[in-house]
Structure 1
């Protein structure tokens, strides 16, 4: 076997051609059959291989290069003329690797897809994938080999990049907070992340999940519920996101669950992904924040309610109403400590039977659970409390009592107590809220006490002022007190509110306070007054109103003082008001004042008898006096006469 070189072209004998054809029949076979002469075939293949952009090399049996394609030139950086006739080993830095390749080639006749490295002209190594085929002579003896090389540089780079991405993906999946499941469309689990163990509190492990069906992993109802959500993803082709709560060994766990479809190029769903994140702690914090917001809202409501009034009974009632909303429908009461009697006294209650209120309206702090909470200043939540039989039949019976002390600075003012419905379990947040409310109530109670003391102080001052006024005229001694008594009886008979009664109380005592500036000679004159003297007397309502103008608590009372000499039909003084334009308190005091004056001695006349005074009131009803108030007053007189009979 021999080959001849013609320029850069080698003439191959028939056996060499046969080897090339055997190596790559699909590449050469079709062209070969179109040519009949050996010379034509040889020329054709020499040109084809030599000009091929694929790196093709042919070596003889001694390992020297006999053919070096353009693709090989490009791969190595060597032109063919520099390497032809030289040993192929010049490209292989690892002689052992080359020797192994040759041994395999001789043994098997070919070597396929072998990865190695070759040297280039510029020095750096290039990774290649090489396939070799053994060439034989006519006698079947090895005569050389042909090799086809592929530059693996870009493939290696791509592989390394892919490997890097794989590692990055693996690290990301390993450190991600979510547990991820991959399933087929029958809900068989194909893979899962290790986070599933942490997510399920150790109940599920990744190795236990793979190959299992989702429906078999959970109890019947839960399994169906979960499967239904994946079926919805399959039906709609869209992701489904939900927040779910699952019971694990008595503990309620919350998850943010996302279920997504994986589709092929045709849009068909091939797999399903489930992504689950444990949001139990976030949910707990959210619920705690909402509970805190509710607490603040309730505290604001309580503060608004108890501070809306300075009257003790209204403050206590509002406090109980707001506190009961925390525990739901329950029975409740409030005891305040009375320092004088040194006993706890019922000050307000809700839904407590009258039999209990009658028997337990007050007791010593040493006697019961309420007293214990009062003495220690600590909340008591007593379950299994043996409730008094007198409570039976009033809604549901209770099996516990909650007692909350009401503090103010370093003192305990009293206690609130609650009987929740049977089976009710108060939370720590609810008990904490009741304690906070009790602190607010303590402040409100103390404010109400101070206001009551201030009001009482004003009243005593006013009484002293009225006494000083009455002392100016021996004929009008106790006149203001008597007018006050009649006025309060009329107000009570009319069912007026506490604020109106308070204003009438003050105004009735002070209705003539303006006479302090009136001459005693005029007030005590036995005869008829002159026009000038009468005008001086007529100034006393206005003078009294001005005298009281700087006292805030008498804001409404001073209007009554100003108008208590107005006539119902008009013509009175100082403004000449009529009917309902005259304050009701002024209309009441006008009748009480006139009756007391008519039935008392004066310097200029003797007292009228009761019947004459009553007749006089009836005669002036509608002109000077409010007729409805006159009737109410006359009914009071009738009641008094009947009681004295």
Structure 2
């Protein structure tokens, strides 16, 4: 059995229906199927219990079970396997009820065709995968939220909990949070499932975590096949515990990396996108807690320092009489005023000694108040000394003699500057923690690439919006937007370019929405817009404006631009009868499918879908369906042939601009076809290469005739213009779907085997085979032809240039094949 084949269980007792469905699955074009057939519910349940399958096709009427009980029993035994109900028209009501109870789709047997059945199976499996991924993501977020809610006041304990959560969510062998202590040793502050003999404090040199801390660049640090890296020798834990994979994440304090959150595995492990999102959330939380830990340690150190100073009488301690004379001052106080002891004791505060005049008057008032009230007082002061704000705290208390009479006041002065700065830093960190929590909550439901909400948020919001409309009245509409033929953009220009186009498309859609409309990237190139307070007519009008605006916009960068065609579907509540929020997306997908079947690049509502259905039923009898399918097939082939003929006719116009190009193309085609056949390629691939060779210079339509026919050497600017012709050809052909397969052959026929060609600098086998074949045929024929700036080369000279280009300009295997063809040609 093909490992990639979809494993399908068909539970059906009707032999004709079994034969029909099995035949459709064998003829499927986009997927292969391994089909198991069981004719009773009991046999089906037995098979499910023993074998793993991807999807179930279920008839509700079986010899040992009928109706919803059939679905219910299957669903109970296999809740995680997608079930598609296939039924006759008479069972349609029951099938729809099964659909509401969890069936992925409902298909009427008399209306099924190969494409519908294959699409339903693939979509059901994908929806089930998305549902499982969403469930896993929700479980992760619930665990993260539970961990956050369980935080205590002690940052180190919170870091320990987060490290354990990190290891658990990523299925690690063990997890650690490591940082360097004040002596430079590598210490494990957080641990999860570490071996009993693990050393939590070690010399850091050679450890992977030490590299993350000292060489990290704020990104995750993934090392696979550890036993084959230098760490197998430098990090003692790699060999000792037979580690295979390390995933680390740098943790910052202020502007420096101070720690590494890491998960290690005794197997190969590659984190998924959801794994990395979880790592981002947990690492951000650990970073906040680490900042709190260090800030509080700094605060505690500051407090300890003041305690030691006080106990050692190094704080400023002074005693004053009621006339403001110094009776006593410790060394710290002496140093504070900047004098010697003999010049302080017995002197009056007004004698100066470094005191600020305003402060002298303030302190004289405080001394008077303590003498009058006979009660202690505590004061806080701040004073700008140079460019630094100095904070102080003083306690002024009455001192009594043996008789209980107040004879003086004692002052204990503390410099609180460092503590104040530490407290201010802690306040800033707490504010940052609040902002970070808000940001993390948003990130968990945001698509990181486009900045739009993702499908998780859609699942949350659509239910509440639908409930609001049901309870309070009003309208709610939904627009689904799908980019037509987007795969061809990725294939032609790279996925990075495609991602840029999607980001620009998201920006264009956002510009057209109201502030309270909700825009969601639903998946891939699909977007959904939720429109509160909007009816179907208003939503349809907006969808048409979106379609028109997108069609006018040029997407891309300075190097490449593309036009997009989109298909949009509109669903509205209450006009479209849907029972819940998720039904709206299901109906939108059905309408979108119908719109694409009608050619795409349009806006459809349920009215359009219903109208088409009524028209078909009115004019087409069941007996005519087969004939209609045959006629549609003929029309499709004729349309493809007409489009292809038009493009090839268009290419012939090149002869009017450049007679050389016209003759050159015909001879290039002959050589390209000969090479393809010599390589043993299938006939349809030979035909594709023939078409590519015919159209390989199509892009010269967009090049100035003066440049094409120039007899002298081209300037640098003119040569840059000539280099654009493969991309021009690709842009011309991209909207023509039937020719998409040959675009890479045309776009890359000027690439070189050594990677020095254009437009993409592809190298070796990165260059499509068809492009490599056309390249050799193109160059050889050019060498053998008169050009505006030189005469044709002699055959031996042209062959020598081809031979010298093997392994640098050309694929050496194709060069050898081509030289054999030329040798046979010469012998003839």
Please classify the TM superposition score into its range, dividing by the shorter chain length.
0.3 to 0.5
What is the TM-score with the length of structure 1 in the denominator? 0.35
Q: Which has the higher contact order (CA 8 A, sep 6+)?
A: 1
User: Considering only CA atoms, is the larger Rg found in Structure 1 or Structure 2?
Assistant: 1
What is the TM-score with the length of structure 2 in the denominator? 0.28
